[in-house]
Structures are given as C-alpha cells and as structure tokens.
Structure 1
Amino acid sequence: MTPEPSEPAEPPAPSARPNEPRFPDGPKPDPADSHHERRIRSFQPRRGRVTTAQGDALQRLWPQWGLDVDGQRVLDLPALFAQESGPAVDRIVLEIGFGMGEATAQMAAEDPTTGILAVDVHTPGQGNLLNLADKNGLTNVRVANGDAIILLRSMLPAAALDGVRVYFPDPWPKKRHVKRRLIQPEFLSLVAGPMKPGALLHCATDWEDYAEQMLDVLGAHPDFENTVPDGGYAPRPSFRPLTRFEGKGLDKSHVVHDLLFRRK
C-alpha cells in the first residue's frame, strides 16, 4: 500500500548515533536477518522520516503492541490480543500493508471486538499507527514489522485468522517487475493455511491490470471462492474506509476494484 502523508507535519525524531539502533526498544531494521533465504521481495523496506510523535510511540508502545517478524516462533494470537481493559477480541484479521495506518485505526475503532494484526515495513507508518491507537484508546491493534511472507509461512498457526486484508499493494507497474506483485498463486496457497474455513480474503487496488490479474488468480485457486455470484468484483464494503490515497486516485479517474473471496 502506498503510504499516505501524515499531518500535521512534525519535526523528525533524533537520529541514533552510528552503530546504535535507531529505536532501542522498537522495531528492528531486518528482524529475520539471516534466518531466511534471500529472495525477490514484494516490498521495499522503508525506514524514512520519523516524526517525534511517531518515534515516541515506537519507543513507548512497541514492547506492548509491536512484534518483529523473525520467523523464529509461532504466535499465540489469542494471547497476543489478550488485554486487561477494553472489549474482548473475538475474531482476528491480518492486514498486509497499512501505509500510515489511518484506515487501520478507523477500522479498529469501528469494530473493537476484531483484533487487527497489521504488518508493514514502513517505520513512520508503524509509529503513526501506534500513535493513533494510543490517542484513540484502541486496544485491538498489534503492529508487526517485517516480511508478511515469513509471518504467514513460519509464525501463524493453521486456521487462526478470521480474515486477511490486502489494500492497495504495490502494483509494480513495469513489465519486468510484475513478478514482484504480491497476489500470485504461491501467495494464495500460503495465505490459505492460517485462514479459517469461511474466512474472508479482501483485496483492493486502483490498477486495472492488477485487478484483472487478482480476479484471474483468485478465481482459479482451489482454496478460495468468489463471494460475488457472477464471479466479478465486489462493491466496496462499508467496513473498508475510503482513504485519502484512494480519494486522490478517484480524483484522477482511477477505478478502485474490491475483491472478496471466501476460504473454502
């Protein structure tokens, strides 16, 4: 997902000294490091400019609400979302790529009994989402730092997720980069494992050819079935907010396609 600009603008957080971690109690730059093979990635790690508020949230809240995708353990998702206050979480969804986290925070606020495990590699976005969760009293958000493929393959138990959301993944528009697109048969086979039967895989994109690819690949995969009777695109469901990034695309006459497929 293309990150949205945060506002209002704030001064950048102080930089770490050479050879010191940027956020000692926060997300690691490369949590999986040498534990996993090097491969073509569907993302580019982006540390980027971190504001003071984002850096403070990373330092304060990461030990409580954050986790590094290191591939070294299987997560206990009910324990991860256990909390002493706030509504009890009775379902858990995975969101892959969340930009600056504004839509994620809105979905969490509107559905407090659904836990959202949001994974991304964008450090400012991680800090911004933690800050939004803190400011709005959201206790149903957890932020994962690292490669979603490693998270799916090595850290999530079978049949543990009630849904997976992939909103506006990088379209990799150049022909030589199409192989980097996330929604591929191999990814769908991987994501099916931790999804419960009946769980919803929800994708959205404003790139027409990527939408067509998604529809073809999802429609042909044996583990998923289209929730739309005629096999086409779905209307945007009410629980997916209209983001500023999406609004800018609509202003440019981009057509946004939602795809809602159910795990068999």
Structure 2
Amino acid sequence: MARTLAPGQRSRILTLDVDSGERTLVHESAEILYEAPNWSLDGRSLYVNGDGHLFRLPAGAPSGPVRIDLGDLPELNNDHVLDPDGEHIFVSCADGHIHRAPLAGGRARRITKEDGRLHFLHGVSPDGMMLAYIGLRVDAEGSWSVPDVFTIPSAGGEEVQLTDDEFPDDGAEYSPDGRWIYFNSERVRTAPGHAQLFRMRPDGTGIEQLTHDERVNWFPHVSPDGGRLAYVSFPPGTEGHPADRDVIVRLCEADGTGIRDLVRVHGGQGTMNVNSWSPDGRSLAYVDYPVSGHHD
C-alpha cells in the first residue's frame, strides 16, 4: 500500500545545486506523499511516485504534478528509473515485478518473470539493455530473505545473481560508462544495519568498498559524468532505510574520497531512492517530509 503523510506532515520536492548549495522548492503537498524524483533527459521535468501512481512535474514551474495514466498497472513503489530512450520508464510495482511503461501514458509491459522473488529496480545500463535490481523472497510467515543484487535483460530473460551471502545488499546502480555497479551493503558491518557503499564489475567481480564511517550509507547515485556519488546517510545504529529520520544527503568522488555534506533533511525512505541527478550534473532533486513543529 502506498505511503501516506502523517497529520501535520508535508512532502516537499526540491532541487539542490551541488556546488553552490542553493535550494529551490519545486512543489509542496500536504495531501500526497511524493517520493524518489527522477530527472527527465532534457532536464525540464521531474518524475515522482505518489499515492501508488507516477507523476510528471515541470522543474521550476508553478504547475503541480500531473498524473500519468498507466492503465491497470499495480501500485508503484519508489523504485523507478528512466529508460535511456527518453520515452519509457522502468518501474517496480506492488506485484513484486518490474515493468516498462511509456512516459506519455499507456499500457506497460512486465519484464520480470514469476520466479518466487520480489524485484526492486535500481539501475539501467547506459545502453538500456540491462537492469540491475534487488531480489528477495518472502516466506509463508512473511519474513524476507537476505536481499541480493541481480541483473536481467531489459527486454526480459534470464537473470544473473551477482551477490550471494548473508549480508543485505541494496541500491544497485550502473555507472554511466557501464563499467561498474554501485550499491550499498552490510558486508563489513560492525552492527546490524551498518551499510556502507561499494562498487563491483557488472559480472559481480572486483568488489571495492568506498565508504568507511560509522554512519549508515544508502543509495549511491552516480553523476552523469561518472565522477561523483550522491547518497543518503542515516544516523549510526539505523537498520534498513526507514522513513521520518534526520538524514544527510552527502557527496563524494566516485572512489569514495572527498565526502562532504550537501543538505540535512527530515526524510530517508523516499528522499532519494533512485538516481536524481540533473542531466548536466549540476543539481540533485530530493524530497523531504517536515512535520509541524519539526525543523525545516
């Protein structure tokens, strides 16, 4: 079921100039909890999910989000990434599958097959031919298995499991040159939930740890030039990527060096689950969720 706002809470879609620190409020709602902005390839619009649907929002325009009619597609979650063709978007839905949908609206096509897994999309290869997703199973009692990284052809086909151990992985995303898949993992955790950032080759080899701190780091998003990572950093001791936490959006070089804080927000889940870099690499889009009486 789609997330909703708490009493007195708002969802605010903002853009941030990563060099100057200038923030721009694009849209604010006290009715719909919006999540996970993607930037259109021409830089003129943002795509967000809210209330189980996909919306288009002109960046910097006073008009509000416009719902895109995707027919009978199940409710969307906050894992959606644009197809490099600029005309489609890959989305994860409440049915546990990944679908390819037209940005102009219309019927979507399911990519993943019935294999007993839930599929959470995070990355599309630069040529649009492969998807990177997080796969897991749910048992009869409702318990989730350890999430691992998989790839699958974007046209559908056989998936390949890239990680397979007892530690949760998430946020798998291709670099713009296709040479790396970036992800977060607890494989070097010092306590449950202690995720750090990593990267590996698209075949699962050559895993490198990128961050080495006490905070809980999620969702590495690679800049269009491949040189920088933006990510969401949770407080120490956080397990998973919960909502309504005071988090930091951080920036570092693609090898994990040069970490600096960009902005502190009340958010977490939904703030920046997917790649939200502008095409020119100057700005990020994100969502925060202030509550009356809480700092903005």
TM-score (norm 1): 0.28
Larger RCO, structures 1/2 (Cα 8 Å, 6+ apart) = 1
Structure with the bigger percentage of helix = 1
